[in-house]
């Protein structure tokens, strides 16, 4: 499981002309699920996301977590994070879990984040063609991966 995390000033996701999720300052998390992933990975990845110290303290140093900052979360499923372009120019996605595996893990990940945050989070729409609009703050982009 890979979480590509971007610290944002704001972000939103639309499907067609319908807004599915929108946040102000916080984390935009693109979540990729590998074919070997299982639910046991979710608490660790979620805990890393909410406790990652990427927000500025009073001295401007990245020393505060999302919980400290009282930021928001927007999670977007993204199977292309496990795209492999070693051979040729067209990426292969055989390492990305199919929807039957990935969607329940995505939903469980979102639920775990809500539990750890003790409040609702925002989401994209699994499997949809989404437009993601964001203002990366920094920019700060961190990748966290945990595999079985």
Kindly report, residue by residue over 21-79, the tens digit of the pLDDT.
999 999 999 999 999 999 999 999 999 999 999 999 999 999 999 999 999 999 999 99
8 in helix, strand or coil?
strand
Q: Is 147 part of any domain? A: no
The CATH number given to whatever domain includes residue 44 is 3.50.80.10
Please give the Cα distance from 62 to 55 (Å, whole number).
5
Could you tell me the residue range of the domain that residue 128 belongs to? 2-134
Summary mean pLDDT of the chain = 97
Are the beta carbons of 76 and 31 closer than 8 angstroms?
yes
How many folded domains does the chain comprise?
1
146 in any annotated domain: no
Q: Which residues are catalytic?
A: 80
Q: Is residue 59 included in any domain, yes or no?
A: yes
In a domain, 119, yes or no: yes
Residue 37, CB-side half-sphere exposure with 13 Å CA sphere: 32
Beta-bridged to residue 29, according to DSSP, are: 5, 75
Q: Which pTM was predicted?
A: 0.96
Contact 123, 77 (CB under 8 A): no
Residue 147 binned pLDDT confidence (cut-offs 50, 70, 90)? confident
Judge whether 112 lies within some domain: yes
């Amino acid at each position: 499981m890979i979480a590509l995390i971007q610290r944002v000033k704001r972000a939103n996701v639309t499907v067609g002309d319908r807004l599915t999720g929108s946040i102000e300052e916080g984390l935009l998390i693109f979540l990729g699920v590998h074919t070997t992933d299982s639910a046991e990975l979710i608490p660790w990845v979620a805990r890393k996301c909410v406790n990652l110290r990427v927000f500025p303290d009073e001295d401007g140093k990245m020393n505060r977590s999302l919980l400290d900052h009282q930021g928001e979360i927007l999670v977007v499923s993204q199977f292309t994070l496990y795209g492999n372009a070693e051979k040729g120019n067209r990426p292969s996605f055989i390492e990305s879990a199919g929807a039957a595996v990935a969607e329940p893990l995505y939903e469980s990940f979102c639920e775990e984040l809500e539990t750890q945050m003790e409040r609702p989070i925002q989401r994209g729409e699994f499997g949809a063609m989404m437009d993601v609009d964001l203002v990366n703050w920094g920019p700060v982009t961190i990748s966290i991966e945990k595999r079985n």
